[in-house]
Amino acid sequence: MNMLGMGIVFASGRGIDSLDRALHEGWQAPAEVEIKGRKSFAYKVDQQAISDRTLLKNMRRADKLSKMAVVAASEALAGGMVNISPSPHPSPTGGEGAKIGVIVATALGAHVTTFDFLDDILEYGDAGVSPTTFSNSVHNAAASYISSALGIEGPTLTVTQFFFAFHSALQLAQVWLNEGRCDYVLAGTVEQYGDVLAYVHDTKLVPAHDGRIKPFNLKPAFQVPGEGSVFFLLGNNPGNAFCEVQSVSVNDQADNLPPADLNIIDADGLLEDESIYKECLSPDVPAAAYSPLFGSMMSGSAFNCAAGALMLKNQKSYANPVTDNPYGFNIVNDTAPCSIELIRCVRYNCFHERAEIYLRGKQIGEGR
């Protein structure tokens, strides 16, 4: 299946141009936050980035998680230039519409709103809880808002699976497309930063006291929590695709694939010891990790995939934003035009299971 459209909202802004700019500019300091009187850092999405009155006109009650998801999904859909059908709303471009499914992958979902809901119960009793807070805390809320805001009437699902939620979403999208259940699938991820998450990061993991995630440091693995959303419009037709998702595997080697031209590792400090990533790095294949641009998120694979897709589309390698490299890995140090055909995105979970996404460039691949 192909990545036909892409939308993103993250700490450095909204849209593919913001992603491209962030990849060019390299590491930027995260926002300073205070956790129980201590200074810490987080990559937070500015409210301005999700203030879209036209798109969100019927979403005043939505929480930040849902708004981020809708904004990213909307841009992915617009980028793919696909007509929506069946829909009570007229298609903006006319013509036959397409069946579209929505899959939201998230590790923690609406945890901020859920904790608000629980706080309300404790403070006011169960009769004094806001119905809006309750409805936003429901697991499928973000996916429902996407369907509603974009006029999509296809299947809608939320996948929660800590580190591999995005991988599962891609696998399911492939099934829906192959079955013909959908012509296209909007699959993506969304995570939100909040006080409870900040506390967990600060007390259970190793905070990066200088604000820098150092993906190649491995141990200790420093983290800075992040938030944001990235969505991809996926379809089996080639279109003007960013790239092809050639293979997605979880705890299983991808079959018969040549060595990648680039390894993107999802190391971001969420494992206490990330030495396991040594197993997937090779001196012959350059490696990159872009978590220092987005923050540490259990579904950060989607953000690294977005960077990979842009690399393949633009045929350009982007320098690692943080280049601390105590083990002397072969890492990408420069941003420069290059010929890349195959990118492997690798994530390990805390049980050292490995998930891989292979992205293949369309322009090069089609010529072969």
Partner 1 sequence: MQSNEAQDLAQIKKTLKELLVSDLSLEDIKPEEIRDDEVLFGEGLGLDSLDAVEIVVILQRKFGLEVKDLENRKDVFYSIDSLAKYIYENRKKNS
Determine the interface stretch with partner 1 among 128-136, 229-237, 242-250, 354-362 (rule: CB under 8 A): 128-136
Residues found in the chain? 368
Considering only 38, 60, 204, 368, the residue that binds partner 1 (CB under 8 A) is: 60
Determine the interface stretch with partner 1 among 2-10, 129-137, 250-258, 300-308 (rule: CB under 8 A): 129-137
Cβ–Cβ under 8 Å, residues 340 and 244:
no
132 binds partner 1, rule: CB under 8 A: yes
Closer residue to partner 1, CB minimum distance, 125 or 367 = 125
Considering only 128, 180, 258, 367, the residue that binds partner 1 (CB under 8 A) is: 128
130 binds partner 1, rule: CB under 8 A: yes
DSSP assignment letter at 168: H
For residues 10 and 230, what is the distance between their CA atoms, to the nearest angstrom?
A: 8
Question: Bridge partners of 231?
Answer: 7, 188
Determine the interface stretch with partner 1 among 88-96, 120-128, 167-175, 357-365 (rule: CB under 8 A): 120-128
Considering only 38, 53, 89, 204, the residue that binds partner 1 (CB under 8 A) is: 53
For residues 23 and 188, what is the distance between their CA atoms, to the nearest angstrom?
A: 20
Closer residue to partner 1, CB minimum distance, 132 or 323 = 132
Cβ–Cβ under 8 Å, residues 239 and 312:
no
Closest approach of Cβ 112 to partner 1, in Å?
15
Considering only 21, 36, 61, 219, the residue that binds partner 1 (CB under 8 A) is: 61
Closer residue to partner 1, CB minimum distance, 194 or 321 = 194
131 binds partner 1, rule: CB under 8 A: yes
162 binds partner 1, rule: CB under 8 A: no
Closest approach of Cβ 122 to partner 1, in Å?
13
For residues 354 and 367, what is the distance between their CA atoms, to the nearest angstrom?
A: 31
Cβ–Cβ under 8 Å, residues 367 and 283:
no
95 binds partner 1, rule: CB under 8 A: no
Place of tokens 């909204």: 14
Strand ranges inside the chain, DSSP E: 2-10, 13-14, 31-35, 38-42, 100-106, 156-160, 184-191, 206-207, 222-223, 228-235, 243-250, 262-265, 287-288, 316-317, 336-337, 342-348, 354-361
User: Rule CB under 8 A: which residues touch partner 1?
Assistant: 53, 60-61, 124, 127-132
